[in-house]
Amino acid sequence: MNVILRGRIKNIVKTMVDEGYANSQSEAVRLAIVDFGEHYISEEELVNSKLDRIDAEIKIGKRKLIGAEEALGKYTKYLK
C-alpha cells in the first residue's frame, strides 16, 4: 500500500522520525495506527468483528466447522 502524506500529517510523521520516535515514515504510520486502535477501538469490538467475519465465512462455505472428535483425532479419548 502506498500512502501520500501532505501538509500537517506529513509534518507530524517527519517529526516522529526526526525526534527518534520511529525509524522510518512507515514505522511512524504503523505506530499512529496502533495508538489510534488502543485509544478508540476496544478489544471487545475487534473480537466481535473477527467473530462476525468468521460467521459470515461459515455461512458462505469459506470455512468449515468440525466437531471436537474430528479436531482432537487420536486424542478424542481425553474428552469428558
Please give the distance of CA 77 from its chain centroid, rounded to a whole number.
Answer: 36
- Regarding whether 33 and 48 lie in a shared domain, the answer is no
Residues 14, 30, single domain; the answer is: yes
For residue 60, the tally of other CB atoms under 10 A from its CB is: 7
Does 36 lie in the same domain as 48? Answer: no
**What is the tens place of the pLDDT at every residue in 8-34?**
999 999 999 999 999 999 999 999 999
Q: pLDDT at position 76, please? A: 86
Residue 6 has pLDDT above 80, yes or no: yes
46 plus 23 within the same structural domain: no
Phi, psi of 5 (to 5 degrees): -105, 135
Total domains in the fold of the chain: 2
pTM for the structure as a whole: 0.55
35 shares its domain with 59:
no
Range of 6's domain? Answer: 1-40
Asked if 34 and 2 sit in the same domain, the reply is yes
**31-77 tens-digit pLDDT:** 999 999 889 988 898 899 999 999 999 999 999 888 888 889 888 88
